[in-house]
Structure 1
Amino acid sequence: HIDYPLSPANAVFGMGLAQTGAILLDYGKEKFTNIIRPRKLTSLEDWVVSQFGRTMFNLYFKNYSEKVWGIDCQNISKDWVSQRIDGLSLWQFIQHSLVRLRSNRAKTLTDTFSYPRMGIGQLSDRMSDLITARNSIKTGSVVERIFHDDGKISAIQYTNTGCAHIIKGAGHNYISSIPVTKLIEKMSPAPPSRVRSAAAKIRFRSLVIVALFINKKKMTDLTWMYFPGKDVPFGRIHEPKNWSSDLAPPDKSHIIAEYFCNSDDETWQSSDEIITESTASRLQQLGFFDKTDLIDSRVLRIPFAYPVFDLHYRKHLKIITNYLEKFNNLHLVGRSGMFSYLNMDQAMESGILAAEKVLLKSKREETVPASDVSFPCHLLQPSHS
């Protein structure tokens, strides 16, 4: 395997002298061509080739990106890759690998990060404690209808534990992380046909997570491992114990495999037993553990995991957001709510900013509650979250 961030010895050893030379030569050729004859960058392929060269694109980026998104790299907008590895190029990778202590290195090349001792769920658990002290969270809820009138959201109809409920109030603020396509679908009266048509033309990629619990103290020393090749069905694995030793017993561990898929394809439709067996078998072939080491497993299916940035998503999304901006008590947050490829910290920040906007509006209207008075709120949480 090849380390990320790159280390010179590992990169050369992993790819070989001939391939390393071809990558460097191709990168230099690409940069020279761009100086002489600059070209418009539209797709993911355009952007990566310009920043890393054709050889590096074919070696890694093409296969992995198409595994993630399920479409050809020529049809993926450069917006995605430029957001994820903004400002990076092969030259910057090389610089970082030679001078590890640079203080101005790109964030995506960081060697360390902070992580909650008992897992990322600690953040939501703490938020839950704070919210339920004065308000309510209704897990397992399904929003059925979103009513609106005169430029305001006026009511939410939802079901919880089989019972129908409604929250009314045009004077309320509504913060939505519902996939924006579902938001449009559930609005009543229905949005104009142009808006509904735009919503039908943007889509999300889904995620299947397979957790395998293993009777081994440790399997890797890695944060993540990526598999661009088509011979491996999953795209990425990680061993949570490497993030925090408290996430598994001292003598055991678990490994997480991620499958990128569509909600109507074979991967999503496979039974838990079939996808678990396939995952375990491939990881055993790769030498991570023996068949007798497998203790237990769990499969999670996450719809609406990744907004798909194809070449036309911007124009469709603009129609949707222009319509939703007319509702001054509706605030979109999160990756699926905003149809934006946000990192977790950015998604959380979008919620904080929405809350600040609501509180600032209340203050302007001189209705901001005192610190000892609860601010009325209900959190509707779908069962898959």
Structure 2
Amino acid sequence: MNSKKKVIILGAGVAGLAMGYHLARKNKYEVTVLESAPIYGGLSGSFEHEGFTLDYGAHKMYSVIPGILDELGELMGERNLKLTKKNRIFLNGHLLDYPLKMGNFLKVCGLWAFLKLGFGYAWSVVKGIFKKGEPQSYEEYMVRLFGKPAYQLVFEPLADKTWGDPKKLHADMARTRIPAKGGMDIILKLLGIKKETADSSADFFYYPKKGFGDFPTKLKEEIEAAGGQVLVNTEVYEINHREKLNFKIKARNKDNKKEEMIFECDSLISSIPLTALNQLLFAQKDPESMKEVQALKFRHLILVYLFINKPKILEDQWIFFPERKYLFGRIFEQKQMNDELGPKNQTAICCDLTCEEDHWAWTAKDQQLADKCIENLVEAGFIEKKDVRGHYVKKVRYFYPCYDLQYVEKMQAFSSRFKSMNNLLLTGRLGMYNYNNSDHCYDMAKFIAQQLEEGHPSKDIMTSLEQRVRAYKIVD
């Protein structure tokens, strides 16, 4: 008799696969991961194109969560490379250290503007002493940390390009990337007197030799080795919550819609977007719930790959571009991770940008996007147009959660609804509506697996997980 509890996991990105990995290895759960796409890995996967192995933008394996980086290193073993991190920011025609130092500002601004930045920062420190209460918006948070001149020069345009108007973004959007420290700590780091710490800047990171997609591949292999299964091209179209077996899930093969599959499970764990899960669980019973969940803000992702007849063109793995005149917010060179990921005398640059539905870039043709990126990179002095031999464009809907000023209240309403369903758990960036990286997804999965093993109710697990994820920090 099989005494293992049955668990269905929705979504085979890193969040879903990490969840399957942590449960399957405990040998107490019968794990099945369902993925609607024809491939697993999500945007942490890799793909082949014209002799290159390409990632969906820049990815690294790094964590400041105690123990997680060591676990990831052990999991991947010799499949990983250990790389020294090299990334900078391109501002006013100069490549500058990132995180920024005060000397960088002098280099690009001149003495008067540099003094203005310094006075702006000093004034923000003085005002902060007398200002009561926590900053509410991204803008308030960053102005308090760095002063208005530095904010307007770097952080405002970069945030606007990535997430939208900083005045309308919740301060949590900034806290996730730049933890608030004491004024003296920031001053010492800006002056270069004190080194950046591991929780503010990574000195190194791990990266899979075969491309970042080898990380989800390894997770899938471990799930299958432990007796679990990962089913791709499998579209879930109905979920029924029942008391005894808890969940009955109906799915079909997307290539053969007549081929119906029925799964019954004790627990359902979802890493798919909240909108999609809400559609499956609540849309028919409560149509208003769809309006509520659709009020959550997301940005779409556009990746423009340029193929260039040069062995390499950068000295960095990726470079940030805060200025609005550049379409993209960051460029990434795949072969900076591993020379073997592309042909010897060619390289691939990925220009990534985010936008909303009404931005011209979202409806633009691939050639238009490529032409604009080429124009920007030529203007910045990174490439010559004659060296570009081709392009490839990938567009992804609803990729970046964007915390607006009301997001906490919105999430509390959704949280109550999902918690009302016994043995339902959420995980991942899109499943939790939490701006995070792959190490956080791995940590969520580990935490959920431990809590389930200890017998905690799903409602309590979700409450603890919500508190946990709000403390996550993204380290560049």
TM-score by length of 2: 0.69
Change (3 A) 1:348 1:37: closer
Q: Identify the residue that residue 205 of structure 1 maps to in structure 2.
A: 299
Q: Does 1:34 find its partner at 2:134?
A: no
Tell me what 1:141 maps to: 234
Cα shift at 1:108: 2.4
2:339 aligns to what? 245
Specify the code of the residue in structure 1 equivalent to 2:235.
Answer: V
Match of 1:296 in 2: 390
DSSP 3-state at the match of 2:207: coil
1:347 corresponds in structure 2 to 441
Segment drifting more, 212-221 vs 107-116: 107-116
Deviation at 1:118, TM superposition (A): 2.4
Select which of 23, 43, 56 maps to 2:117.
23
**2:268 alignment counterpart:** 174
Gaps of 5+ in 2: 1-93, 457-476
User: Secondary structure of the equivalent of 1:219?
Assistant: coil
Judged with a 3 Å threshold, the aligned counterparts in structure 2 of structure 1 residues 73 and 303 are, in CA distance, closer, same or farther, namely same
Kindly indicate whether residue 152 of structure 2 is the aligned counterpart of residue 87 of structure 1. Answer: no
Deviations 1:82-111 (CA, angstroms, capped at 9, x unpaired)? 121112577545423555774x82522233
**One-letter code aligned to 1:119:** G
Question: Residue in 1 aligned with 2:143?
Answer: 49
Distance in 2 of aligned mates of 1:162 and 1:261 = 35
State the Cα deviation string for residues 201-251 of structure 1 (Å, max 9, x = none). 112111011111211122111232122222111111111222333333343
Q: Give 1:147 shift.
A: 2.5
Structure 1 stretches of 5 or more lacking a match?
Answer: 363-385
Aligned length: 359
Structure 1 residues 119 and 162: alpha-carbon distance in aligned structure 2, compared to 1, 3 A threshold: same
Higher relative contact order (CA 8 A, sep 6+): 2
Residues 1:213 and 1:88: Cα distance change in structure 2 (over 3 Å): farther
| Preserved contact between residue 138 and residue 160 of structure 1 (Cα < 8 Å) | no
Q: Structure 2 vs 1, CA of residues 88 and 300 (structure 1 numbering), >3 Å: closer, same or farther? A: farther
Q: Which position in structure 2 is the counterpart of 1:236?
A: 330
Structure 1 residues 258, 8: closer, same or farther in 2, change over 3 A? same
Q: Distance in 2 between matches of 1:180 and 1:278?
A: 34
Question: In structure 2, what residue type is equivalent to 1:124?
Answer: P
Equivalence map 1:1-385=2 (5 Å): 1=94, 2-70=96-164, 72-88=165-181, 92-96=185-189, 98=191, 102=195, 105=197, 107-133=199-225, 134-150=227-243, 152-163=246-257, 164-169=259-264, 171-187=265-281, 190-193=284-287, 195-263=289-357, 265-361=359-455
Distance change (3 Å), C-alpha of 1:138 and 1:239: same
Q: Secondary structure at the match of 2:206?
A: coil
- Report the 3-state secondary structure (helix = DSSP H, G, I; strand = E; otherwise coil) of the residue aligned with 1:107: coil
Normalised by the length of structure 1, the TM-score is 0.84
CA drift of 1:14 comes to 2.2
Corresponding position of 2:43: none
Deviation (angstroms), 1:339: 0.3
- The answer as to whether partners of 1:148 and 1:154 remain within 8 angstroms in 2 is yes
Question: Which one has a larger percent strand, Structure 1 or Structure 2?
Answer: 2
Q: Which amino acid aligns with 1:313?
A: Y
CA RMSD of aligned residues (A): 2.6
